[in-house]
Chains A and B, each alone.
Chain A
Amino acid sequence: MNQQNKFVSGLAALCAVVWVLAAIHPADRQAWILENLLVVLFVATLALAYRRLQLSNASYIFIALFVILHTIGAHYTYAKMPIGLWAKDFFGFSRNHADRVAHFGFGFFLAFPVRELLLRFGGIRRGWSFWLPPAIILAISGFFEILESIVAEIIAPGKGVEWLGGQGDEWDAQNDILSALLGSLVMMAGIALTSRKKSMR
Chain B
Amino acid sequence: MNRSRARFGDNRFLQIALVCYALFWVVLAIHPVDRSDWFLENLLVFATASVLIPTYRKFQLSNLSYALILLFLALHAIGAHYTYAKVPIGFWLRDFLHLQRNHFDRVIHFAFGFLLVYPMRELLRRSAGARETWAAWLAVAALAALSSFFEILEGIIAQIVRPDLGIAYLGTQGDIWDAQKDMTAAFAGAILATLLLLSAQLHRRNPTRA
**Docked-complex contact A139 and B145, CB < 8 angstroms:** yes
**Docked-complex contact A128 and B128, CB < 8 angstroms:** yes
What is the interface size of chain B, counting residues whose CB is below 8 A from a CB of the partner? 32
Q: Hey, which chain A residues are within 8 Å of B130, CB to CB?
A: 122-124
Q: Hey, which chain B residues are within 8 Å of A145, CB to CB?
A: 148, 179-180, 183
**Docked-complex contact B149 and A138, CB < 8 angstroms:** yes
Q: Hey, which chain B residues are within 8 Å of A121, CB to CB?
A: 131, 134
Q: How far is the CB of A110 from chain B (nearest CB, A)?
A: 13
What is the interface size of chain A, counting residues whose CB is below 8 A from a CB of the partner? 31
B42 interfacial by beta-carbon distance below 8 Å: no
- Bound Cα distance from A121 to B151, whole angstroms: 31
Within 8 Å by CB of B187, from A132, A135, A143, A175, lies A143
**Docked-complex contact A141 and B148, CB < 8 angstroms:** yes
Q: Hey, which chain A residues are within 8 Å of B159, CB to CB?
A: 171
**Docked-complex contact A128 and B129, CB < 8 angstroms:** yes
**Docked-complex contact A142 and B167, CB < 8 angstroms:** no
A138 and B148 in contact, given A149-B180, A170-B166 (Cβ under 8 angstroms): yes
Within 8 Å by CB of A123, from B129, B147, B149, lies B129
- Bound Cα distance from A177 to B183, whole angstroms: 12
Q: Hey, which chain B residues are within 8 Å of A178, CB to CB?
A: 152
Interface residues, chain B, CB within 8 Å of chain A? 124, 127-131, 134, 138, 140-142, 144-149, 151-152, 154-156, 159, 166-167, 176-177, 179-180, 183-184, 187
Per CB-CB distance, the 10 closest pairs between chain A and chain B, nearest first, are A142-B148, A139-B144, A138-B145, A128-B128, A174-B155, A135-B145, A139-B141, A122-B134, A149-B180, A125-B129
Interface residues, chain A, CB within 8 Å of chain B? 118, 121-125, 128, 132, 134-139, 141-143, 145-146, 149, 153, 160-161, 170-171, 173-175, 177-178, 181
A-B contact pairs, 22 of them (CB 8 A): A121-B134, A122-B134, A123-B134, A124-B129, A125-B128, A128-B129, A135-B141, A135-B142, A136-B145, A139-B140, A141-B148, A142-B144, A142-B151, A145-B148, A145-B180, A146-B187, A149-B177, A170-B166, A170-B176, A173-B179, A177-B148, A178-B152
